[in-house]
Amino acid sequence: MWLPVIWISTLNNILTKLYIRFCQQKRIFDIPANVFHLRTTHFIYSICLLLLTACSNSGTGERSIPEPDLAQRLRSQKDEIDRLYRKEGTRLELMAKSTVNGNPVPVGDTFMPSEFHTMYEILRNGQGHIISIWEFPMISGGEWNTSYIHYFDSNGRTFAFERQCSFLNSRCTPGVAREVKTEYYNSSFQSVDKMYTLTDAQEKPLQRTECVFPFDFIYQASSDTAEYLKANKIKR
């Protein structure tokens, strides 16, 4: 620290001499030279402290720089996967389990379970990585229809989760009510944005406080592909 102190002392002496010369020429003596000396010293020390702090921080570790448009980027990423899912000709891997604790098995032309408990639709990208899994419980008896959808990034981390539920007996509409909850996550699986809609069969908004939700089951989203596959006993 001795080198910056020498610079500060030299610079301060120069500024003080300039101040005195200026006052002598302009006959201005409102501010004593010793006061000016103290003020310039304080100012110069502050500038040097900021410079030293910036230099020391620049060489120590990585800084976490927030991404202002993260939520918008995640929404666009989800929309792209949704378009691919709905696109005609998109290949989906179908799996199903017949009991709550059963192991899902592939479903195809050669095999179809006689009873379904849960259906799974798995979507992969061109590199074979899972980018979305749609989960459909099949035990509603016709009173409700729920989908749980995970969206995964290129590293297998969950960046979005959506719950879609269409149900009867809501008491706020005579027909079907449709509730959609969407949550977006950063790379640490921390929530960064949420979206919510509640509509009737004609897609007109409903007031949540006027409805009841008899089929609002608890569901825990998985943080990544590996956790989801393990929790649901799905083999790659």
Same domain, 86 and 178: yes
Amino acid at 85: Y
Domain annotation covers residue 102: yes
pTM score = 0.70
Domain annotation covers residue 63: no
How far is the C-alpha of 59 from the C-alpha of 101, rounded, in Å? 53
Domain annotation covers residue 216: yes
Domain annotation covers residue 87: yes
Domain annotation covers residue 65: no
Q: Which two tokens stand for residue 139?
A: 């035990």
Same domain, 14 and 103: no
Answer whether residue 109 shows pLDDT above 90.
no
Q: Match 């009867």 to its residue by tokens.
A: 168
Among 222, 39, 19, CA closest to 120: 222
pLDDT band with cut points at 50, 70 and 90 for residue 205? very high
Same domain, 116 and 211: yes
Where does residue 107 rank: exposed (0-12), middle (13-18), buried (19+ CB within 10 A)?
middle
Domain annotation covers residue 119: yes
Same domain, 188 and 213: yes
How far from 21 is each of 27, 28, 58, 146, 194, CA to CA, in Å? 10, 10, 40, 83, 65
Give me the domain span that covers residue 47.
2-58
Mean pLDDT of 18-46: 47
Residues in the chain: 236
Return the pLDDT at 139.
Answer: 77
Same domain, 145 and 227: yes
Summarize pLDDT for 110-160 with one digit per residue, the tens. Answer: 666 667 899 999 999 999 999 999 999 987 677 899 999 999 999 999 999
Same domain, 162 and 193: yes
Answer whether residue 107 shows pLDDT above 60.
yes
Q: Which residue has the higher pLDDT, 129 or 54?
A: 129
Q: Into how many domains does the chain fold?
A: 2
Q: Which residue has the higher pLDDT, 155 or 31?
A: 155
How far is the C-alpha of 131 from the C-alpha of 118, rounded, in Å? 20
Same domain, 44 and 85: no
Domain annotation covers residue 64: no
Find out whether 151 and 77 touch, Cβ atoms under 8 Å: yes
Same domain, 104 and 151: yes
Domain annotation covers residue 127: yes
Same domain, 114 and 219: yes
Residue 20's CB: how many other CB atoms inside 10 A? Answer: 14
Half-sphere exposure of 57 (CA within 13 A, CB side): 8
Answer whether residue 233 shows pLDDT above 70.
yes
